[in-house]
């Protein structure tokens, strides 16, 4: 174990926040992870697990140990004429894995192209976009139980997937560290094109019929138009979840604001958090070195030297405004450190 002290996390989080970790190390295997967690326990150090740093807001310097999971590997473990089970290590870049799957002709995750972060973080958040979620292709995962130091396997039922949610954000929070995820991908994909402008944009880009490559490139194009590049301006993508509200509440708002569009989810209606934020007057608003993106109000940005606590205060101010105007509570999608 190579341990570093007082390490800047600026290059390890997509907000580009220059906070420091008291101790920092990287692990490249499950065995190394277990050894490192044991050392931290023996030294009474709190632990934070870091993936791609694309879904966290660091609000101050981190006391204790930050472990970056850098376990690599993509391994097909079972294959039929129609499906493939592929085991992917937690440290693999998510978008790179999607591109790999597309190149192999394995379908099911092409709509999740260009989502930042690592494979290990994907089930925690049950990442999703354009009508597809991780749970749709999930088979199982392997994780280290920090309370016992042993590896355990979770199936889909055990993960309790919800909208941008899972067991690992609720009862299992901070207890399990994911080492690998196994996906069931299709050799005969059923394309999901009905969400948003996917099909229309695909045709505008010159694709007549859907293919894995066509859909993947279309999703990348759409995301690049809507979301800022973290390498150019610090951000963590969508900061808030799209809320699900009761139908009566939706109809009341819709009567007053005809531009609102919602989507049925169970007994409720899911509405765009971006619309709520824009209607509350926050789109493009800048507070010093942080602000709300000028094109996508769901994205909070760091213009260079912003602090995590400034972004936190901004997010709380947005929540307050939206609740006062619409009586809707926005829930952060980003994890607070």
What averages of pLDDT result for each successive group of 10 residues across the chain (337 residues)?
Answer: 94 96 98 96 95 94 97 97 98 98 97 95 93 96 95 97 91 94 95 89 93 96 90 93 95 93 90 96 94 95 93 98 97 92
pLDDT at residue 266, rounded to an integer:
84
160 strand-pairing partners = none
Q: Rg (Cα) of the chain, in Å, rounded?
A: 20
Q: In this predicted structure, what is the pLDDT of residue 254?
A: 94
Shared-domain flag, residues 82 and 48:
no
- Claim to verify: residue 322 and residue 287 sit in the same structural domain: yes
Residue 98: which residues within 8 A CB-CB, separation 6 or more? 109, 110, 112, 113, 114, 115, 216
pTM (2 d.p.): 0.85
Collect all residues with Cβ–Cβ distance below 8 Å to 331 and sequence separation of at least 6: 240, 241, 243
220 & 86 share domain: yes
> For residue 185, what are its two tokens?
């991908």
Asked if 23 and 4 touch (Cβ cutoff 8 Å), the reply is yes
Whichever domain contains 260, its CATH number is 3.90.78.10
pLDDT at site 265: 86
Structure-block tokens of residue 292: 């709300």
Q: Which residues contact 276 (CB under 8 A, 6 or more apart)?
A: 243, 322, 325, 326, 328, 330
Catalytic residue of the set 54, 238, 280, 315: 238
DSSP reduced 3-state for 246: strand
Same domain, 124 and 268: no
Catalytically annotated residue among 26, 92, 142, 333: 333
CATH number at residue 209: 3.30.465.10
Give yes or no for a contact between 201 and 111, defined as CB atoms under 8 angstroms apart. Answer: no
Q: Report pLDDT for 273.
A: 97
Are 112 and 150 contained in the same domain? yes
Pair 30, 44 in one domain: yes
- Give the pLDDT of residue 1: 82
Are 191 and 102 in the same domain? yes
Alpha carbons 172 and 183: distance in angstroms, whole number: 21
How far is Cα 262 from Cα 214, in angstroms, rounded to an integer? Answer: 27
Q: Which CATH number is 20's domain given?
A: 3.30.43.10
Q: Which two tokens stand for residue 32?
A: 């190394």
Residues 92 and 197 grouped into a single domain? yes
Which of 189, 205, 226 finishes a domain?
Answer: 226
Per-residue pLDDT, 282: 97
**pLDDT confidence of residue 279:** 96
Q: Are 85 and 203 found together in one domain? A: yes
Instruction: State yes or no: is 238 an active-site residue.
Output: yes
Residues 81 and 221 in one domain: yes
Identify whether 333 is a catalytic site residue.
Answer: yes
Expressed in angstroms, the distance from the first to the final Cα of the chain is 24
Q: Do 94 and 148 belong together in one domain?
A: yes
Catalytic residue among 54, 164, 280, 315: 164
List the alpha helices (DSSP H) in the chain.
Answer: 30-42, 94-104, 122-125, 156-159, 198-204, 212-226, 247-256, 273-279, 308-326
Closest to 56 measured CA to CA, from 65, 46, 66, 64? 66
Closest C-alpha among 153, 114, 121, 155 to residue 138: 155
> CA-to-CA distance for 90 and 93, rounded, in angstroms?
8
The answer to whether residues 41 and 94 belong to one domain is: no
Domain containing 125 equals 74-226
**Which of the listed residues 195, 226, 257 is the one where a domain comes to its end?**
226
- The number of domains in the chain is 3
Of 162, 197, 226, the residue at which a domain comes to its end is 226
């Amino acid at each position: 174990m190579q341990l570093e002290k007082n390490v800047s996390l600026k290059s390890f989080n997509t907000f580009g926040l220059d906070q420091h970790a008291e101790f920092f190390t990287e692990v490249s295997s499950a065995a190394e992870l277990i050894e490192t967690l044991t050392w931290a326990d023996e030294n009474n150090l709190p632990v934070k697990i870091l993936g791609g740093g694309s879904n966290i807001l660091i609000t101050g310097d981190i006391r204790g140990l930050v472990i970056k999971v850098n376990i690599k590997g993509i391994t097909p473990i079972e294959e039929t004429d129609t499906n493939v089970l592929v085991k992917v290590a937690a440290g693999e870049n998510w978008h790179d894995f999607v591109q790999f799957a597309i190149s192999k002709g394995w379908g099911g995750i092409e709509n999740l192209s260009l989502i930042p972060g690592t494979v290990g973080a994907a089930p925690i958040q049950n990442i999703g976009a354009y009508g597809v979620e991780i749970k749709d292709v999930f088979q199982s995962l392997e994780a280290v139980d920090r309370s016992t130091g042993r590896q355990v396997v979770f199936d889909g039922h055990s993960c309790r997937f919800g909208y941008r949610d899972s067991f690992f954000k609720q009862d299992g929070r901070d207890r399990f560290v994911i080492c690998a995820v196994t996906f069931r991908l299709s050799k005969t994909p059923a394309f999901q094109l009905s969400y948003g402008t996917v099909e229309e944009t695909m045709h505008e880009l010159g694709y007549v019929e859907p293919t894995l490559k066509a859909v993947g490139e279309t999703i990348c194009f759409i995301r690049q138009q809507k979301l800022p590049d973290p390498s150019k301006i610090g951000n963590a993508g969508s900061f808030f979840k799209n809320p699900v509200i009761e139908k009566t509440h939706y109809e009341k708002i819709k009567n007053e604001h005809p531009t609102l569009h919602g989507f049925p989810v169970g007994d409720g209606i899911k509405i765009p958090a971006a619309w709520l934020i824009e209607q509350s007057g926050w789109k493009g608003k800048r507070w010093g070195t942080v602000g709300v993106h000028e094109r996508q109000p769901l994205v909070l940005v760091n213009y260079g030297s912003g602090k995590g606590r400034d972004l936190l205060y901004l997010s709380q101010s947005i929540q307050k405004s939206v609740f006062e105007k619409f009586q809707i509570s926005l829930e952060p999608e980003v994890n607070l450190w």
